[in-house]
Protein backbone atom coordinates (compact mmCIF):
# COMPACT_ATOMS: atom_id res chain seq x y z
CA UNK A 1 0.00 0.00 0.00
CA UNK A 2 1.35 3.40 -0.97
CA UNK A 3 2.20 5.66 1.93
CA UNK A 4 -0.16 8.61 2.26
CA UNK A 5 1.57 11.86 1.34
CA UNK A 6 1.85 14.34 4.18
CA UNK A 7 0.65 17.88 3.66
CA UNK A 8 2.93 20.76 4.62
CA UNK A 9 1.71 23.52 6.95
CA UNK A 10 3.03 26.74 8.45
CA UNK A 11 2.40 28.70 11.63
CA UNK A 12 3.27 32.40 11.27
CA UNK A 13 3.49 34.95 14.08
CA UNK A 14 2.87 38.67 13.76
CA UNK A 15 6.51 39.46 14.57
CA UNK A 16 7.58 37.60 11.43
CA UNK A 17 8.67 34.29 12.90
CA UNK A 18 7.45 31.24 10.96
CA UNK A 19 7.37 27.56 11.98
CA UNK A 20 7.13 24.79 9.39
CA UNK A 21 5.46 21.44 9.99
CA UNK A 22 2.80 19.03 8.77
CA UNK A 23 -0.95 19.52 8.65
CA UNK A 24 -3.43 17.28 10.44
CA UNK A 25 -7.12 17.50 11.23
CA UNK A 26 -9.01 19.83 8.91
CA UNK A 27 -7.09 21.40 6.02
CA UNK A 28 -8.27 24.95 6.44
CA UNK A 29 -6.66 28.20 7.56
CA UNK A 30 -7.01 29.69 11.03
CA UNK A 31 -6.08 32.91 12.82
CA UNK A 32 -5.91 33.57 16.55
CA UNK A 33 -3.69 34.41 19.48
CA UNK A 34 -0.99 31.75 19.83
CA UNK A 35 -0.65 30.52 23.44
CA UNK A 36 0.85 27.52 25.20
CA UNK A 37 -0.52 25.02 27.71
CA UNK A 38 1.83 23.01 29.96
CA UNK A 39 -0.60 20.17 30.78
CA UNK A 40 0.58 16.62 30.04
CA UNK A 41 -2.96 15.37 29.44
CA UNK A 42 -6.39 16.85 28.78
CA UNK A 43 -6.06 17.88 25.14
CA UNK A 44 -9.70 16.97 24.52
CA UNK A 45 -10.92 19.11 27.40
CA UNK A 46 -8.67 21.95 26.24
CA UNK A 47 -9.96 21.93 22.68
CA UNK A 48 -13.60 21.93 23.81
CA UNK A 49 -13.17 24.59 26.52
CA UNK A 50 -15.04 27.71 25.27
CA UNK A 51 -12.42 29.86 27.00
CA UNK A 52 -10.03 29.06 24.14
CA UNK A 53 -12.19 30.80 21.53
CA UNK A 54 -9.92 33.06 19.50
CA UNK A 55 -6.73 31.17 20.40
CA UNK A 56 -4.34 28.78 18.68
CA UNK A 57 -3.21 26.39 21.40
CA UNK A 58 0.29 24.91 21.63
CA UNK A 59 0.91 21.90 23.87
CA UNK A 60 4.34 21.87 25.53
CA UNK A 61 4.18 18.13 26.25
CA UNK A 62 5.80 16.52 23.18
CA UNK A 63 3.46 13.58 22.45
CA UNK A 64 -0.25 14.34 22.08
CA UNK A 65 -3.14 12.02 21.15
CA UNK A 66 -1.92 8.78 22.70
CA UNK A 67 -5.22 8.01 24.48
CA UNK A 68 -7.49 9.16 21.67
CA UNK A 69 -10.82 10.96 22.04
CA UNK A 70 -14.14 9.94 23.58
CA UNK A 71 -17.58 11.54 23.82
CA UNK A 72 -17.71 11.66 27.62
CA UNK A 73 -14.74 13.95 28.32
CA UNK A 74 -15.69 17.01 26.28
CA UNK A 75 -16.27 20.34 28.06
CA UNK A 76 -18.79 21.55 25.46
CA UNK A 77 -20.48 20.09 22.42
CA UNK A 78 -17.85 21.24 19.94
CA UNK A 79 -14.22 22.45 19.93
CA UNK A 80 -13.74 26.20 20.38
CA UNK A 81 -9.97 26.60 19.96
CA UNK A 82 -9.10 27.99 16.54
CA UNK A 83 -6.26 25.52 15.86
CA UNK A 84 -3.95 23.05 17.60
CA UNK A 85 -0.14 22.90 17.63
CA UNK A 86 1.79 19.78 18.74
CA UNK A 87 5.31 18.43 18.41
CA UNK A 88 4.34 14.81 17.71
CA UNK A 89 0.84 13.52 16.98
CA UNK A 90 0.02 9.97 18.02
CA UNK A 91 -1.86 8.44 15.11
CA UNK A 92 -2.69 5.11 16.78
CA UNK A 93 -4.11 5.73 20.28
CA UNK A 94 -4.26 2.97 22.88
CA UNK A 95 -6.92 3.33 25.56
CA UNK A 96 -10.06 1.33 26.33
CA UNK A 97 -12.16 4.52 26.35
CA UNK A 98 -10.88 5.81 23.01
CA UNK A 99 -13.51 6.15 20.29
CA UNK A 100 -11.39 7.78 17.57
CA UNK A 101 -7.92 9.26 16.99
CA UNK A 102 -7.42 12.94 17.73
CA UNK A 103 -6.78 13.79 14.07
CA UNK A 104 -10.12 12.22 13.04
CA UNK A 105 -11.94 14.14 15.77
CA UNK A 106 -10.41 17.41 14.61
CA UNK A 107 -11.23 16.68 10.99
CA UNK A 108 -14.83 15.90 11.97
CA UNK A 109 -15.14 19.30 13.66
CA UNK A 110 -13.19 21.23 10.99
CA UNK A 111 -10.37 22.07 13.39
CA UNK A 112 -6.92 22.51 11.79
CA UNK A 113 -3.65 21.44 13.37
CA UNK A 114 0.09 21.44 12.75
CA UNK A 115 2.62 18.89 14.01
CA UNK A 116 6.34 18.44 13.71
CA UNK A 117 7.38 21.93 14.82
CA UNK A 118 9.73 22.69 17.71
CA UNK A 119 7.13 23.48 20.38
CA UNK A 120 9.89 24.21 22.90
CA UNK A 121 11.25 26.99 20.69
CA UNK A 122 7.74 28.35 20.11
CA UNK A 123 6.96 28.33 23.83
CA UNK A 124 10.25 30.06 24.73
CA UNK A 125 9.53 32.67 22.07
CA UNK A 126 6.04 33.34 23.50
CA UNK A 127 7.46 33.60 27.02
CA UNK A 128 9.98 36.19 25.81
CA UNK A 129 7.91 38.15 23.31
CA UNK A 130 4.43 37.46 24.73
CA UNK A 131 1.34 35.83 23.28
CA UNK A 132 0.68 37.34 19.88
CA UNK A 133 -1.46 37.20 16.76
CA UNK A 134 -0.79 34.22 14.54
CA UNK A 135 -2.05 32.38 11.49
CA UNK A 136 -1.93 28.69 10.55
CA UNK A 137 -2.28 27.41 7.00
CA UNK A 138 -1.72 24.37 4.81
CA UNK A 139 -2.82 26.25 1.68
CA UNK A 140 -0.73 29.45 1.71
CA UNK A 141 2.79 28.79 0.39
CA UNK A 142 4.44 32.20 0.89
CA UNK A 143 5.48 32.74 4.55
CA UNK A 144 5.25 36.53 4.16
CA UNK A 145 1.62 36.24 3.07
CA UNK A 146 0.83 34.19 6.15
CA UNK A 147 2.57 36.73 8.42
CA UNK A 148 0.40 39.43 6.83
CA UNK A 149 -2.67 37.31 7.51
CA UNK A 150 -1.70 37.11 11.19
CA UNK A 151 -1.18 40.88 11.39
CA UNK A 152 -4.59 41.57 9.87
CA UNK A 153 -6.40 39.75 12.69
CA UNK A 154 -7.61 42.34 15.27
CA UNK A 155 -6.46 40.40 18.36
CA UNK A 156 -8.26 39.77 21.64
CA UNK A 157 -7.92 43.12 23.44
CA UNK A 158 -11.23 44.95 23.32
CA UNK A 159 -12.95 42.00 21.62
CA UNK A 160 -16.13 40.47 23.04
CA UNK A 161 -15.58 36.77 22.35
CA UNK A 162 -18.35 35.69 24.72
CA UNK A 163 -21.00 36.38 22.09
CA UNK A 164 -19.60 33.49 20.01
CA UNK A 165 -19.87 30.86 22.75
CA UNK A 166 -22.80 31.74 25.02
CA UNK A 167 -26.11 29.89 24.73
CA UNK A 168 -28.94 31.53 22.79
CA UNK A 169 -31.80 30.79 25.18
CA UNK A 170 -32.15 29.79 28.87
CA UNK A 171 -32.28 26.05 29.47
CA UNK A 172 -32.37 23.69 32.47
CA UNK A 173 -29.20 21.65 33.00
CA UNK A 174 -30.20 18.03 32.52
CA UNK A 175 -26.96 16.04 32.73
CA UNK A 176 -28.51 12.90 31.28
CA UNK A 177 -28.87 14.78 27.97
CA UNK A 178 -25.15 15.51 27.60
CA UNK A 179 -21.91 13.48 27.57
CA UNK A 180 -20.63 12.36 30.94
CA UNK A 181 -24.06 11.67 32.46
CA UNK A 182 -22.93 8.57 34.32
CA UNK A 183 -20.04 10.51 35.87
CA UNK A 184 -22.46 13.24 36.99
CA UNK A 185 -24.78 10.73 38.66
CA UNK A 186 -21.84 9.14 40.45
CA UNK A 187 -20.67 12.51 41.79
CA UNK A 188 -24.19 13.29 42.97
CA UNK A 189 -24.32 10.02 44.88
CA UNK A 190 -20.92 10.59 46.48
CA UNK A 191 -21.73 14.12 47.65
CA UNK A 192 -25.34 13.46 48.54
CA UNK A 193 -28.18 15.85 47.80
CA UNK A 194 -30.08 18.12 50.17
CA UNK A 195 -33.79 17.47 50.50
CA UNK A 196 -34.44 20.89 48.98
CA UNK A 197 -31.89 21.54 46.23
CA UNK A 198 -30.59 25.05 45.68
CA UNK A 199 -32.01 26.92 42.71
CA UNK A 200 -29.00 28.33 40.88
CA UNK A 201 -28.84 30.44 37.74
CA UNK A 202 -25.58 29.92 35.85
CA UNK A 203 -24.65 32.83 33.57
CA UNK A 204 -23.06 31.32 30.48
CA UNK A 205 -20.00 33.32 29.43
CA UNK A 206 -18.61 30.07 27.97
CA UNK A 207 -19.39 27.53 30.66
CA UNK A 208 -17.74 24.10 30.91
CA UNK A 209 -19.75 20.91 31.38
CA UNK A 210 -17.71 19.87 34.41
CA UNK A 211 -18.58 23.04 36.30
CA UNK A 212 -22.26 22.29 35.73
CA UNK A 213 -21.74 18.68 36.81
CA UNK A 214 -20.10 19.75 40.06
CA UNK A 215 -22.71 22.39 40.86
CA UNK A 216 -25.38 19.75 40.30
CA UNK A 217 -23.41 17.25 42.41
CA UNK A 218 -23.40 19.79 45.27
CA UNK A 219 -27.18 20.02 45.29
CA UNK A 220 -27.88 22.73 42.71
CA UNK A 221 -30.89 22.66 40.42
CA UNK A 222 -29.50 24.61 37.48
CA UNK A 223 -30.86 26.96 34.87
CA UNK A 224 -28.27 28.19 32.37
CA UNK A 225 -28.93 31.63 30.89
CA UNK A 226 -27.21 33.60 28.10
CA UNK A 227 -24.51 36.11 29.00
CA UNK A 228 -26.91 38.84 27.84
CA UNK A 229 -29.58 37.94 30.42
CA UNK A 230 -30.72 40.99 32.38
CA UNK A 231 -30.68 41.16 36.19
CA UNK A 232 -34.48 41.31 36.10
CA UNK A 233 -34.64 38.07 34.12
CA UNK A 234 -32.21 36.36 36.47
CA UNK A 235 -33.87 37.55 39.69
CA UNK A 236 -37.27 36.69 38.21
CA UNK A 237 -36.22 33.04 38.36
CA UNK A 238 -35.96 33.42 42.17
CA UNK A 239 -32.53 31.82 42.46
CA UNK A 240 -30.85 30.93 45.73
CA UNK A 241 -27.54 31.79 44.06
CA UNK A 242 -25.98 32.97 40.81
CA UNK A 243 -22.91 31.39 39.23
CA UNK A 244 -20.68 33.39 36.86
CA UNK A 245 -18.89 31.10 34.43
CA UNK A 246 -15.55 30.99 32.71
CA UNK A 247 -15.27 32.27 29.15
CA UNK A 248 -13.00 33.71 26.44
CA UNK A 249 -11.54 37.06 25.51
CA UNK A 250 -11.20 40.47 27.12
CA UNK A 251 -13.46 40.75 30.19
CA UNK A 252 -13.67 44.55 29.88
CA UNK A 253 -15.41 44.10 26.51
CA UNK A 254 -18.30 42.17 28.11
CA UNK A 255 -19.97 45.40 29.23
CA UNK A 256 -23.48 43.93 29.41
CA UNK A 257 -22.28 41.18 31.76
CA UNK A 258 -20.50 43.69 34.00
CA UNK A 259 -23.63 45.83 34.29
CA UNK A 260 -25.79 42.80 35.09
CA UNK A 261 -23.45 41.55 37.81
CA UNK A 262 -23.23 45.03 39.32
CA UNK A 263 -27.02 44.97 39.75
CA UNK A 264 -26.97 41.48 41.27
CA UNK A 265 -24.38 42.16 43.98
CA UNK A 266 -25.99 42.12 47.40
CA UNK A 267 -29.28 40.67 46.15
CA UNK A 268 -28.23 37.03 45.82
CA UNK A 269 -25.11 34.95 46.66
CA UNK A 270 -22.60 34.98 43.79
CA UNK A 271 -19.78 32.57 42.88
CA UNK A 272 -17.49 33.28 39.90
CA UNK A 273 -14.75 31.31 38.17
CA UNK A 274 -12.14 32.65 35.71
CA UNK A 275 -13.90 35.16 33.40
CA UNK A 276 -16.72 35.27 35.96
CA UNK A 277 -14.12 36.27 38.56
CA UNK A 278 -12.84 39.05 36.29
CA UNK A 279 -16.33 40.32 35.53
CA UNK A 280 -17.18 40.41 39.24
CA UNK A 281 -14.03 42.47 39.81
CA UNK A 282 -14.95 44.88 37.03
CA UNK A 283 -18.48 45.19 38.42
CA UNK A 284 -16.91 46.31 41.70
CA UNK A 285 -14.97 49.07 39.93
CA UNK A 286 -11.64 47.26 39.61
CA UNK A 287 -9.55 47.10 36.45
CA UNK A 288 -8.20 44.19 34.43
CA UNK A 289 -5.03 43.89 32.35
CA UNK A 290 -3.71 41.56 29.67
CA UNK A 291 -0.92 39.28 30.86
CA UNK A 292 2.25 38.78 28.83
CA UNK A 293 1.62 35.10 28.10
CA UNK A 294 -1.03 34.09 30.65
CA UNK A 295 -1.48 31.02 32.81
CA UNK A 296 -2.46 27.79 31.04
CA UNK A 297 -1.72 24.44 32.60
CA UNK A 298 -2.49 22.07 35.46
CA UNK A 299 0.28 22.79 37.97
CA UNK A 300 -0.05 26.42 39.09
CA UNK A 301 0.57 26.92 42.84
CA UNK A 302 -1.96 29.15 44.59
CA UNK A 303 -1.83 30.23 48.23
CA UNK A 304 -5.08 30.35 50.20
CA UNK A 305 -4.51 33.34 52.46
CA UNK A 306 -6.79 32.31 55.34
CA UNK A 307 -5.17 28.92 55.96
CA UNK A 308 -1.75 29.51 54.42
CA UNK A 309 -2.12 26.27 52.47
CA UNK A 310 -0.80 25.93 48.94
CA UNK A 311 -3.10 24.41 46.34
CA UNK A 312 -2.00 23.12 42.94
CA UNK A 313 -4.50 24.39 40.42
CA UNK A 314 -5.57 24.15 36.80
CA UNK A 315 -5.60 27.50 35.00
CA UNK A 316 -6.50 29.03 31.66
CA UNK A 317 -6.52 32.80 31.41
CA UNK A 318 -4.75 35.63 29.64
CA UNK A 319 -6.33 38.54 31.53
CA UNK A 320 -6.19 39.30 35.26
CA UNK A 321 -7.79 41.59 37.85
CA UNK A 322 -5.38 44.26 39.09
CA UNK A 323 -5.54 43.88 42.91
CA UNK A 324 -4.47 47.47 43.61
CA UNK A 325 -7.72 48.68 42.01
CA UNK A 326 -9.96 46.72 44.39
CA UNK A 327 -11.45 48.70 47.26
CA UNK A 328 -10.04 47.03 50.38
CA UNK A 329 -12.86 48.47 52.51
CA UNK A 330 -15.29 46.19 50.69
CA UNK A 331 -13.12 43.37 49.33
CA UNK A 332 -10.60 40.93 50.80
CA UNK A 333 -8.00 39.01 48.77
CA UNK A 334 -8.39 35.27 49.40
CA UNK A 335 -5.96 33.63 46.95
CA UNK A 336 -2.62 34.63 45.39
CA UNK A 337 -0.57 32.97 42.65
CA UNK A 338 2.82 31.93 44.01
CA UNK A 339 4.58 32.04 40.64
CA UNK A 340 4.02 35.72 39.89
CA UNK A 341 1.93 37.15 42.75
CA UNK A 342 -1.16 37.79 40.61
CA UNK A 343 -4.63 37.81 42.12
CA UNK A 344 -6.32 34.39 42.26
CA UNK A 345 -9.38 35.08 44.37
CA UNK A 346 -11.31 37.59 46.47
CA UNK A 347 -14.48 37.90 48.51
CA UNK A 348 -16.80 40.74 49.43
CA UNK A 349 -16.86 41.59 53.14
CA UNK A 350 -20.47 42.68 53.56
CA UNK A 351 -22.43 40.58 51.05
CA UNK A 352 -22.17 36.91 49.94
CA UNK A 353 -20.05 37.05 46.80
CA UNK A 354 -16.67 35.49 46.03
CA UNK A 355 -14.66 34.32 43.05
CA UNK A 356 -11.45 32.60 41.97
CA UNK A 357 -9.28 32.96 38.89
CA UNK A 358 -8.28 29.29 38.70
CA UNK A 359 -10.44 26.27 37.82
CA UNK A 360 -11.46 24.19 40.86
CA UNK A 361 -13.48 21.83 38.62
CA UNK A 362 -10.13 20.86 37.01
CA UNK A 363 -11.10 18.23 34.50
CA UNK A 364 -8.54 16.83 34.11
CA UNK A 365 -6.21 18.24 36.71
CA UNK A 366 -5.64 18.72 40.44
CA UNK A 367 -8.64 18.72 42.78
CA UNK A 368 -7.05 20.62 45.68
CA UNK A 369 -9.57 23.48 45.69
CA UNK A 370 -12.63 21.71 44.28
CA UNK A 371 -14.53 20.67 47.39
CA UNK A 372 -13.94 23.76 49.51
CA UNK A 373 -15.11 26.29 46.91
CA UNK A 374 -18.25 24.50 45.76
CA UNK A 375 -19.21 23.76 49.36
CA UNK A 376 -18.57 27.39 50.25
CA UNK A 377 -21.12 28.41 47.63
CA UNK A 378 -23.64 26.02 49.21
CA UNK A 379 -22.96 27.47 52.66
CA UNK A 380 -23.44 31.04 51.38
CA UNK A 381 -26.83 30.06 49.93
CA UNK A 382 -27.82 28.33 53.15
CA UNK A 383 -26.99 31.47 55.14
CA UNK A 384 -28.87 33.71 52.71
CA UNK A 385 -31.95 31.48 52.84
CA UNK A 386 -31.77 31.39 56.63
CA UNK A 387 -31.54 35.17 56.93
CA UNK A 388 -34.52 35.54 54.61
CA UNK A 389 -36.80 33.27 56.63
- What is the model's pLDDT at position 389? 45
- What is the model's pLDDT at position 273? 98
Q: How many CB atoms lie within 10 A of CB 213?
A: 24
- Dihedrals phi, psi of 347, to nearest 5 degrees: -140, 150
- Is 361 considered catalytic here? yes
CA–CA gap between residue 175 and residue 230 (Å, rounded) = 25
- What is the model's pLDDT at position 362? 82
pTM of the predicted model over 0.85: yes
pLDDT tens digit sequence for 306-328 = 999 999 999 999 999 999 999 99
pLDDT over 90 percentage in the chain: 87
> Do residues 52 and 25 make contact, with C-beta atoms less than 8 angstroms apart?
no
Question: Residue 151 to residues 17, 111, 139: CA-CA distances in angstroms?
Answer: 12, 21, 18
Q: Which one is catalytic: 33, 274, 304, 344?
A: 274
> Do residues 299 and 312 make contact, with C-beta atoms less than 8 angstroms apart?
yes
pLDDT over 70 percentage in the chain: 93
Nearest in space to 94 (alpha carbons), one of 67, 65, 73, 71: 67
Q: How many CB atoms lie within 10 A of CB 116?
A: 18
- Give residue limits of the domains in the chain: 8-152, 162-388
Overall average pLDDT of the 368-382 stretch: 90
- The CATH topology of domain 162-388 is Rossmann fold (3.40.50)
Least confident of 158-167, 172-181, 202-211: 172-181
- Is 27 considered catalytic here? no
Peptide bond preceding 102: is omega within 30 degrees of 0, i.e. cis? no
- Is 295 considered catalytic here? no
Domain 8-152 has CATH 3.90.1150.10: no
> Do residues 281 and 321 make contact, with C-beta atoms less than 8 angstroms apart?
yes
Q: Which one is catalytic: 87, 295, 300, 359?
A: 359
Q: Count Cβ atoms within 10 A of the Cβ of residue 100 and give its class: 0-12 exposed, 13-18 middle, 19 or more buried.
A: middle
- Dihedrals phi, psi of 291, to nearest 5 degrees: -80, 160
Amino acid sequence: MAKKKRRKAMLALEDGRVFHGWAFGSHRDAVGEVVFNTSMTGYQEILTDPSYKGQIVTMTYPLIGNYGVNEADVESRTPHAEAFVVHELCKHPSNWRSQMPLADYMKKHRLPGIEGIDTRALTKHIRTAGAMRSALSSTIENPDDLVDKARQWPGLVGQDMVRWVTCKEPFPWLPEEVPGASWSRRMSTEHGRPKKPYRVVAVDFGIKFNILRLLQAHGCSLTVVPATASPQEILGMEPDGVFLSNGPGDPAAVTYGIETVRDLIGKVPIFGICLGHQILGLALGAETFKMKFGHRGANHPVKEMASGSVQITSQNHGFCVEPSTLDTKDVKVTHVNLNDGTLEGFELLEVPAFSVQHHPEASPGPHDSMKSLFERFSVSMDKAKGSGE
